[in-house]
Structure 1
Amino acid sequence: MISYDSFILDNGLKVFVHQDFSTPTAAVNIVYNVGSRDEEEHKTGFAHLFEHLMFGGSKNIPSYDTPLQKVGGENNAFTSPDITNFYISLPAVNLETAFWLESDRMMALSFDQKVLDVQQKVVIEEFKQRYLNQPYGDVWLKLRPLAYQVHPYRWATIGKEISHIENAVMDDVRNFFYKHYLPNNAILVVAGPVQVEEVKQLAKKWFEPIPAGKLTPRNLPKEPIQTSARFLEVEAKVPSDALYKVYHTKGRHEGDFNAIDLASDILGRSKSSRLYNQLVKENHIFNSVNAYVTASLDPGLLIIQGNLNKGVSIEEGDAAVQAVLDEFLKNPVSEEELQKVKNQAESTLVFSEVELLNRAMNLAFAANAGNVEYVNQESGKIQAVTVDDISTQSQLILKKENCSTMYYRAG
């Protein structure tokens, strides 16, 4: 259980405080309720670009990292389709430095053209290195638009194409900032050896003067139910052939999500999973194979992916995966098998809460999803999953007509 206190500032900023006096370090996490799903189809990659721009100087602070490093702090950030997250770890005695830095860039970026120019080049280079010039790097640039037809999950967080970042102008940047980077569109979590009243006074001092903005209601298109199998074949200079199969499934906090998550664990989480046992260990068809879910806020995907051994065709690999799935759907999962993946999931959950920063993040993500108590309900949801739940959800999800398959051939 992660304990917390909370309050809301007059400008709508929600603040959560998690006390832990066993460490001298404090963690400060701000999640903005904006990700790549909030972008326009012809202006993608902006949420990720903004993650970079937020370190390029704000209204009163030309260099974000310098003052933080002087007080022994470190920071980072990441963007997903659903959120943009910024976090700081620093000695608790210097907590106010984090409030000063984060509030200044929430209030206003510097909107310096030189900063935009530099960060555009950085993101473009990242696009090339990680997605275009790396083996299998473009997989999700191809798989997302195959699986999603209308929902903005159909483009990657980095963007749909480089030109969208290249063509970004300062007006685009300003509009995106003042639309999404608002106190009433953010969650602030402070964790560590702190007093609630101390955090409240700091929050009022540094964040409450920032005016609330007008929030635009999120009205994303709902992905229609997939009614027929989809297929894509590509070829590139990669070490070996690879197979990708994705199935539409539920959002992170929808009912039965945990049953789907555990089903993916049974299929391909570890070296004792069904796919690995049968296709890597026993039959030597794949040299690696796994299964997992995206756990996105809107309906996501269950993914099966594997790299084929030399001399084995993708068609053979696909048929072998389907045989494992057919067996999985035909024969009920045993209580022992289910308990094993429950134990694995519980272990992951427990270890995720060892680090103070992870606890702060988990609180922020749950609060952003609409109910901070999600953070303390996960264990109960995992244990509540039954064999029948696994069977029911697998029958619904792992249908051939709900599958998008990509053959990635080594050229």
Structure 2
Amino acid sequence: MLNIQKSVLSNGLKVVHSYDDSTQMVALNLLYKVGAKDESPDHTGFAHLFEHLMFGGSANIPDFDTPLQLAGGENNAWTNNDITNYYLTVPKQNVETAFWLESDRMLSLAFTPDSLEAQRSVVIEEFKQRCLNQPYGDVSHLLRALAYKVHPYSWPTIGKELSHIVDATLDDVKAFFFSYYVPNNAVLAITGNISFEETVRLAEKWFAPIPYREVRRKPMNIEPLQTEERRLEVERNVPLDSLFMAFHMCERLHADYYAYDILSDVLSNGRSSRLNQSLVQDKKLFSSIDAYISGTVDAGLFHITGKPAVGVSLEQAELAVWEELERLRSELIDVKELEKVKNKFESTYIFGNMNYLNLATNLAWFEMLSCAEDMEMEVEHYRQVSAEHLREVASQAFQRNNCSVIHYKKKDTGSCNNE
């Protein structure tokens, strides 16, 4: 059992702590409950832009990285549709540097035209590289827009359109920051070689003076039930045809979430998984295939993606996938197969949380979802999923009227014959 201790500052900041004396390091994970879904449909990509802006200088510290590096620390960040997450590690003797740095950029960013232009350029270049100039780079845009009609998961974290970042003003950026990057919309998780008492002292010293601010929550449209299959066919300059399928699934806190996750592992986790064994190794219909869940806070998607083998059409490949899904709908998963998947999850999960930084990230995530202590129930939740439950969920989810399909075809560039 983890020794999890918590405190809430007067400004609403949640502090979660777990002590680990096996390391001489401390990890700080600061999670803000703001992601791409909180953006306006005509101002997307802002949460991702802030992932970069938060390293461009804050109210009293012009350069974030240099003081941290001088203290022997490292840092990074990531954003998704639900949250923005910043983390750093530092030797325990220099831990106050970490509190100082993180609190100053929560207080306020520098908000200079130079900083905005510098980070805007980085994000624009990233958009071009990932979405415009990379094979299959537009798949996330296409598939999300196909699967979601009203929920803001209909655009990816990087943004719906490049113009939204190009046209962002300093006033737009300031308004977004002061609406979401506030102590009462954040969870600070601290793990490693620091006591709870010292954690609270430093949190009070550096974060408590930051004022509470109202969070601008926009109404979240609930995605209506999909009632018919949605299909899209595109041609692009890519090396191979590819199949993309997405099925609507439940939200993260729903009891069925664990069944969906296990189903994705049954299908594609490891060489002996069903899709790999049957469709890649035995029938040789695919060169590669994968299944995974989005894991989003609100109702998400169950993805199946694959590249058919040479000479296999997308229609043949898709039919083979449906046959494997029908097996899940009609047959109970063998006890040994199910136990193997559960054992693999348990070992990966427990081993992962032995790392103090991974633990800090998970503590912040679960405290944001419900409460940090719930992370200790994850293995048990997976253990409790039965073969009958899996068949029931598969039967409900893997239907054509719940599916969005993209046939992503290699463009026929033709040939030139010299006579």
Q: TM-score range by the shorter chain?
A: over 0.9
- C-alpha contact 1:191 1:356 (8 A) present in aligned 2: yes
> What TM-score comes out, normalization by structure 2 length?
0.97
Q: How does 1:5-404 map to 2 (within 5 A)?
A: 5-404=5-404
Report how far residue 328 of structure 1 moved. 2.3
Deviates more, 1:35-44 or 1:245-254: 245-254
Q: Cα deviations across residues 213-239 of structure 1 (Å, max 9, x unaligned)?
A: 012345210000101000011111111
- C-alpha contact 2:106 2:181 (8 A) present in aligned 1: yes
Deviates more, 1:151-160 or 1:314-323: 314-323
One-letter amino acid of the counterpart of residue 178, structure 1? F
CA distance in 1, matches of 2:290, 2:91: 40
- C-alpha contact 2:328 2:395 (8 A) present in aligned 1: no
One-letter amino acid of the counterpart of residue 153, structure 2? Y
- C-alpha contact 2:235 2:409 (8 A) present in aligned 1: yes
Equivalent residue, structure 1, for 2:408 = 408
CA distance in 1, matches of 2:274, 2:2: 34
Report how far residue 332 of structure 1 moved. 1.4
One-letter amino acid of the counterpart of residue 6, structure 1? K
One-letter amino acid of the counterpart of residue 391, structure 1? R
- C-alpha contact 2:38 2:217 (8 A) present in aligned 1: no
Match of 1:373, SS? helix
CA distance in 1, matches of 2:347, 2:149: 36
Q: 1:317 to 1:404 in 2, by over 3 A?
A: same
CA distance in 2, matches of 1:3, 1:217: 33
- C-alpha contact 1:56 1:115 (8 A) present in aligned 2: yes
Structure 1 runs not aligned, ≥5 long: none
Match of 2:372, SS? coil
CA distance in 1, matches of 2:27, 2:130: 29
Q: Once superposed, what is the RMSD of the aligned Cα atoms?
A: 0.9
> What TM-score comes out, normalization by structure 1 length?
0.99
Matched residues, number:
411
CA distance in 1, matches of 2:218, 2:14: 19
Q: Cα deviations across residues 327-362 of structure 1 (Å, max 9, x unaligned)?
A: 221221111111111111112212221211000000
Q: Cα deviations across residues 53-97 of structure 1 (Å, max 9, x unaligned)?
A: 000001100000000000100100000100000001010110000
Structure 2 runs not aligned, ≥5 long: 412-419
- C-alpha contact 2:251 2:300 (8 A) present in aligned 1: yes
CA distance in 2, matches of 1:268, 1:152: 28
- C-alpha contact 1:2 1:375 (8 A) present in aligned 2: no
